[in-house]
Amino acid sequence: MLKDKIAKLVSQDGTSLFPIEREYAVKQGLLTENIEVENKEWSFPVIERCLKETEVVLKEEQDSFMKEPVSYFSKNAEEFLYVESDAFETIGIDGIAIEMDDVFRTFTVLFGLKVQKKWGAFLKDYLDENLGLKTYSAMFSDKDGLWDVNIPLDQLDGFQKDMAIKDAIDLAYQFLFKLLEGIEAAN
């Protein structure tokens, strides 16, 4: 699953990898330590600021918006941001929404994760261990075959509310990458 996706990336000419992908490729023997690989940069073909209540798109943003601090959502709690990136294919999601949770006042990311239902116990155990105290939600949807997951960014190592939205997305990506690495090791 993850190994096949990273192997495909490594086999492409002129490929670039995020540091976590490069580390994984070396660990799996898909790449040798001394091979230079360009660092992948985030690109977001879809960046939409939306109203939570209606999901109406307020504005399609430019890449520059991704440099805004995550704290933007504490000042604009009625909004969420939906982004898509080709890089998300590696971790089995189509897009991520970021918002300020109205009840708990935490910054959260929401996404649909393409992982089989049978991995539910592993997924929840991983989230318990790494996020603690049921501060997340994860529910399998038979309708679309995805895990609907909502995790607090505040609980991720390295999170700061003044970090750029792009960096918060990267933090979530790394967290999900490690989760999938765990699932693969348990398989």
Distance CA 73, CA 109 (A): 12
Q: Would you state the pLDDT for residue 135?
A: 78
Residues 82-119 have pLDDT tens digits of 999 999 999 999 999 999 988 888 999 999 999 999 99
Residues 134-143 have pLDDT tens digits of 678 899 998 8
**What is the pTM assigned to this prediction?**
0.92
Per-residue DSSP letters for 109-158? Answer: EEEEE---GGGHHHHHHHHHHHH-TT-SEEEEETTTTEEEEEEEGGGSTT
Cβ atoms of 144 and 132 within 8 Å: the answer is no
Distance CA 90, CA 16 (A): 13
Number of helices (H), then strands (E), belonging to the chain: the values are 5, 9
Domains, the chain, in order of start with CATH, read 1-41 (no CATH), 43-186 (3.30.1460)
Residue 133 banded pLDDT, cuts 50, 70, 90: low
Distance CA 109, CA 145 (A): 19
Of 68, 65, 48, 67, which is closest to residue 57 (Cα–Cα)?
48
Q: Would you state the pLDDT for residue 10?
A: 86
Residues 141-186 have pLDDT tens digits of 988 889 999 999 988 999 999 999 999 999 999 999 999 999 998 8
Residues 2-54 have pLDDT tens digits of 899 998 888 887 789 999 999 999 999 888 887 788 899 999 999 999 999 99
Q: Would you state the pLDDT for residue 15?
A: 83
Name the 3-class secondary structure at 182: helix
Q: What is the phi/psi pair of residue 62, to 5°?
A: -95, 170
Arithmetic mean of pLDDT, 67-73: 96
Q: Is 115 left (phi over 0), alpha (psi -120 to 50) or beta?
A: beta
